[in-house]
Amino acid sequence: MYGEPGSGKTHLLHIFAARHGALFLPGAAVRQLYDLNGHGAVAIDDADAGPEPTALLHVLNMAAETSLPVLLSGNAPPAHWDYALPDLTSRLRATPVVGLGLPDDNVLRALLARLLAERQLAIPPALQDFMRLRLPRAGDAMREATARLDHAALAAGGKVTRGLVAAVLARMGCEDLATAVTTESIDQSALL
């Protein structure tokens, strides 16, 4: 599967790994494996960026010989991955591909609510929508904004306000929020 950063690839790989007893490998961690026994599948994250080509081909060959499913993730379709090893390139081009689009509003709403809850940030739904609608439509942007908001809220005494949210978003370069920021006095050093 492929998609932009923050589209949920790693999350889906973890679900796949849990359901199939898969060996989960970050792309950079793919090495010469001698045995896949005991694993129900193989999940390789960032397969387009990290693995050494011979090691990746070896894993794919072992999985094929033992009929183990393999799920790879990358930012682009496998046919566009830059591997100079002809056997690996042909194997990747023959791989079924699923592209992941950016998450829809319901997914983003649920993700933001979960991220805020994990950090114990109690924010009303209207303020969550204010935040979500101004962020890029990607999970990594939601994670960064939530982390920054948590830090800023702690520095400001714990209360999350519309002005604090606006200041964090403005600091991230999201939409011109100068008018929202001026409604409250905010310690700008807390937003770093």
CATH number of the domain where residue 156 is located: 1.10.8
- 57 contacts: CB under 8 Å, gap ≥ 6: 85, 87, 88, 91
Question: Do 83 and 142 sit in the same domain of this protein?
Answer: no
- Are 46 and 139 in contact, with CB atoms under 8 Å apart? no
- Between 185 and 34, the more confident residue is 34
**Model pLDDT, residue 34:** 59
Task: Please give the sequence-ordered ranges of beta strands (E in DSSP) within the chain, or none if there are none.
Answer: 2-3, 22-26, 41-45, 70-72, 99-100
Read off the CATH number of the domain in which 25 is found. 3.40.50.300
Question: Do 134 and 186 sit in the same domain of this protein?
Answer: yes
**Model pLDDT, residue 141:** 87
Q: Is the pLDDT of residue 33 over 70?
A: no
Tokens of 130: 């204010």
Of the three residues 52, 81, 100, the one that is the final residue of a domain is 100
Question: Do 150 and 78 sit in the same domain of this protein?
Answer: no
Question: Which residue's entry shows tokens 């070896």?
Answer: 58
pTM surpassing 0.85?
no
pLDDT level of residue 151 (50, 70, 90 thresholds): very high
Question: Do 116 and 175 sit in the same domain of this protein?
Answer: yes
Of the three residues 67, 100, 133, the one that is the final residue of a domain is 100
Question: Do 132 and 92 sit in the same domain of this protein?
Answer: no
3-state secondary structure of 32: coil
- Between 98 and 63, the more confident residue is 98
Question: Do 90 and 109 sit in the same domain of this protein?
Answer: no
pLDDT tens for 114-147 read 999 999 998 999 999 999 999 988 888 899 999 9
Average pLDDT, the chain: 84
Question: Do 20 and 69 sit in the same domain of this protein?
Answer: yes
As for how many domains the chain has, the answer is 2
Question: Do 126 and 162 sit in the same domain of this protein?
Answer: yes
Question: Do 119 and 133 sit in the same domain of this protein?
Answer: yes
Mean of pLDDT values over 48-74: 87
- Between 20 and 182, the more confident residue is 20
pLDDT tens for 70-91 read 999 999 999 888 888 899 999 8
Task: List the domain range (segments joined by +) for residue 120.
Answer: 105-191
Of the three residues 72, 100, 128, the one that is the final residue of a domain is 100
Question: Do 16 and 57 sit in the same domain of this protein?
Answer: yes
